[in-house]
Chains A and B, each alone.
Chain A
């Protein structure tokens, strides 16, 4: 039965268990415990980060959708919206680089098209240990191949990104993936369930045992036994997702949907409770109706599975046949597995027998909210005691420059981006390699510039400033393309929040992001937090990664990034403060 070992395996603390008992008015059964464990995991509940994230600026006249939905959206004129978000898939990519990265791409794409937007571009921000350390090459090759394999196959161009190599990330690579889509501003679809009696449909791939407790795994550190967590990594099928994307966009055009959400982390559990919560409704489903690709799956397994390429949707009354017809055209499963209710409960049945019954609010709005202790690390004050006078200048500046250009983080990444299809959909104006990606918007004269940028070392030395610089860099890259930044999304990669030093870094970084976003008038429209990025007690550098989207009124006015004519003047803007840049 449920003892301390079971609790530990579920990533739940004894105090959290007590809260569960209080919320239910009784002890939970194992299925209910599983449901709580994934919904209350750091990855799904943001329990350590919510109090800080609430301080971020999220408003602006151009914001159509701020944090809280599957992705954010900004108005780009002509009745259109740019829908975008960034997400992390760090832990799965360490365990299984190809599939971890591939399913990261798959997941963020679903977050975009579930809002009714056609995805048109991808970016990624990758961080690994030193390139010559053992194991790094395997990670890099696997991650790049996974991103390429998934993105190319589904036909969405990867138009830019960044890659850094730093020992800090050796045991905890960072794979942050960003996706941008275009929707009609008036047709943005929400992940909401409402209308008592409306049918709840499961569409897409069959459910298997892959990825169970993926959310829990992403909410914990690694140790020697981490390789055993392999089955917790999901397996992706980009072809299936392409079909799902086309079918979902087609069904959304019919206006037959009340709401739709992808099944990502915590699969069926997360989508049902979140959709129910947003609609102030309840959802009742029977897991026996869920298409399964393995035999003998228990309700626990079905509710927690993170099998990819699945969506949950609520159809308007009377429109069910239309919905089923469209999915059938694309040879996809579309099965009614339940109904919307008005009691605010998530009720799970198996062949009619009730196997789990939990108030939605307990899983979402009333999930634990922690204000964890923060404390500036002593080591940081020591680090800041640097006397610039002890630094000697290089004897040979030319040699120093070549050494810089040769360092893997600075050197050309062509060997990476030529593996990404960056031209499919014939919108790409700026090819990868320098600064922001730029894609035109067909049917208009406009274009969007997009960039993801982050830093670790700066944040390590000064988390507040480092985070500000990440926002500034992404905004600058977009501005340098000739675009006005409209909105930002953040991916916050940090260590264990239960350590006051790490939590201090996080809190400072969020403050820094807020300050920079306010100064630059670039609101945050959504994002992702990845905590517990540490191995054997050592955390990564605090690494905020920021994605910024900007608008060019005229696609033809994109600003180039190369020296052109001999004799042209080179102008340096800004003030040189004689800094070392954290080198």
Chain B
């Protein structure tokens, strides 16, 4: 299957996502330049981390005007799996593909460190291979990862089971000290109502190899690879997405 990694000016984790998909997981992968409108037959689209457009105006604010985002939105609309990682999550929020917004970390500083995440939902393309309640040790690297949404939105997200990953301690317990950035309800990842678009602040592509300190990020990639192989996550999107 083919991963499409979108590249905006200022994206800097695109090569990492591409490397994970292609070299670690042995899948087909393509870069999708932001000015193009061709998804190149991608079965899954990743919006990678970085500082797209230099965080001009607000992080992720300018990306939605790039031509590729129209295609990504259409792909998502057809049920295609989309993963926004870090800056990619911020872009999905600004593009209206996910609800809510990111504020500065409550420490007001950039933080690069490992955190623990509890898997809350396993019925998304990116967590289908995980166990409910499984704890993953995955790094974060962000200055604005403090997820916020108005109380009604949060209530709705919780009620609809749209919170996919939560910051916890190594035992999976949620408390204030294990929340690295102050996110409401320790939210690290959410999905849309249709459950095919997922945004996550932590970087799973940084945790796919033991050499780099851990493999807990593998399950995110394993999930979407096996989900698409099963063909259970997309109606006709595979055929629609591929070039003739």
Contact = CB atoms under 8 A, between A and B. Distances in A.
Contacts of A330: 9
Nearest to A246: B9
A428 interface: yes
A331 interface: yes
Interface in B48-99: 49-51, 53-56
Nearest to A442: B19
Contact of A242 (B10, B110, B205, B213): B10
A427 B209 CA distance: 10
A93 B16 CA distance: 32
Given A153-B51, A153-B54, A240-B54, A422 B10 contact: no
A61 B113 CA distance: 40
Nearest to B11: A155
B44 interface: no
A237 B23 CA distance: 32
B218 interface: no
B211 A429 contact: yes
Interface string A414-431: 000111111111111101
B117 to A, nearest CB: 16
Interface string A421-450: 111111111010000000010100000000
A243 B9 contact: yes
A357 to B, nearest CB: 39
A431 B213 contact: yes
A243 B141 CA distance: 21
Contact of B12 (A154, A420, A427, A442): A154
A429 to B, nearest CB: 6
B13 A424 contact: yes
Contact of B111 (A149, A240, A418, A425): A418
Contact of A155 (B50, B112, B209): B50
Contacts of B109: 145, 418-419
Contact of A423 (B19, B23, B110, B203): B203
B38 interface: no
Contacts of A556: 211
B206 interface: yes
Given A239-B10, A423-B206, A418 B112 contact: yes
Contacts of A238: 51, 54
Interface in A175-224: none
Interface in A136-157: 145, 148-149, 152-155
Contacts of B215: none
B10 A423 contact: no
B31 to A, nearest CB: 12
B139 interface: yes
B54 A426 contact: no
B26 to A, nearest CB: 15
Given A242-B9, A330-B9, A442-B19, A421 B141 contact: yes
Given A153-B54, A418-B113, A419-B110, A429 B212 contact: yes
A442 B203 CA distance: 19
A376 to B, nearest CB: 46
B141 A239 contact: no
Contacts of A428: 212
B11 to A, nearest CB: 8
Given A239-B53, A239-B54, A425 B16 contact: yes
Interface residues of B, number: 32
B107 to A, nearest CB: 9
Contacts of B51: 152-155, 238-239, 242
Contacts of B50: 155
A555 interface: yes
Given A239-B54, A243-B10, A555-B211, A152 B110 contact: yes
Interface string B199-213: 000010110010111
Contacts of B123: none
With most chain A CB atoms within 10 A of its CB, the pick from B16, B23, B55 is B16
Contact of B110 (A148, A237, A239, A426): A148
Nearest to A558: B211
A152 B9 contact: no
A560 to B, nearest CB: 12
Given A152-B141, A423-B141, A426-B206, A239 B9 contact: yes
A149 B108 CA distance: 13
A559 to B, nearest CB: 14
A428 B207 CA distance: 11
B212 A419 contact: no
With most chain B CB atoms within 10 A of its CB, the pick from A331, A420, A423, A555 is A423
Contacts of B110: 148-149, 152, 419-421
Given A238-B54, A239-B51, A426 B212 contact: yes
B15 interface: yes
Contacts of B112: 152, 417-423
Interface in B9-39: 9-10, 12-13, 15-16, 19-20, 23, 35
Contacts of B23: 442
A143 to B, nearest CB: 14
With most chain A CB atoms within 10 A of its CB, the pick from B50, B110, B205, B206 is B110
Contact of B16 (A149, A243, A426): A426
A155 to B, nearest CB: 2
Given A242-B10, A423-B112, A426-B16, A237 B54 contact: yes
A259 B29 CA distance: 33
A242 B212 contact: no
A267 to B, nearest CB: 22
B63 to A, nearest CB: 13
Interface string B211-222: 111000000000
B211 A155 contact: no
Contacts of A419: 109-112
Given A238-B54, A419-B109, A419-B112, A426 B19 contact: yes
B136 to A, nearest CB: 16
A4 B96 CA distance: 64
20 contacts: A145-B109, A148-B110, A152-B51, A154-B12, A155-B50, A155-B51, A237-B54, A239-B9, A240-B54, A242-B9, A242-B12, A242-B54, A418-B113, A419-B112, A423-B112, A424-B12, A425-B15, A426-B206, A428-B212, A440-B211
3 smallest A-B Cβ distances: which pairs?
A: A155-B12, A239-B54, A426-B16
Given A423-B112, A424-B141, A427-B212, 18 more contacts: A152-B51, A237-B54, A239-B53, A239-B55, A240-B54, A242-B10, A243-B10, A330-B9, A417-B112, A418-B109, A418-B113, A419-B112, A420-B110, A421-B110, A424-B12, A425-B16, A426-B20, A428-B212
Interface of A: 145, 148-149, 152-155, 237-240, 242-243, 329-331, 417-429, 431, 440, 442, 555-556
Interface of B: 9-10, 12-13, 15-16, 19-20, 23, 35, 49-51, 53-56, 109-113, 139, 141, 143, 203, 205-206, 209, 211-213
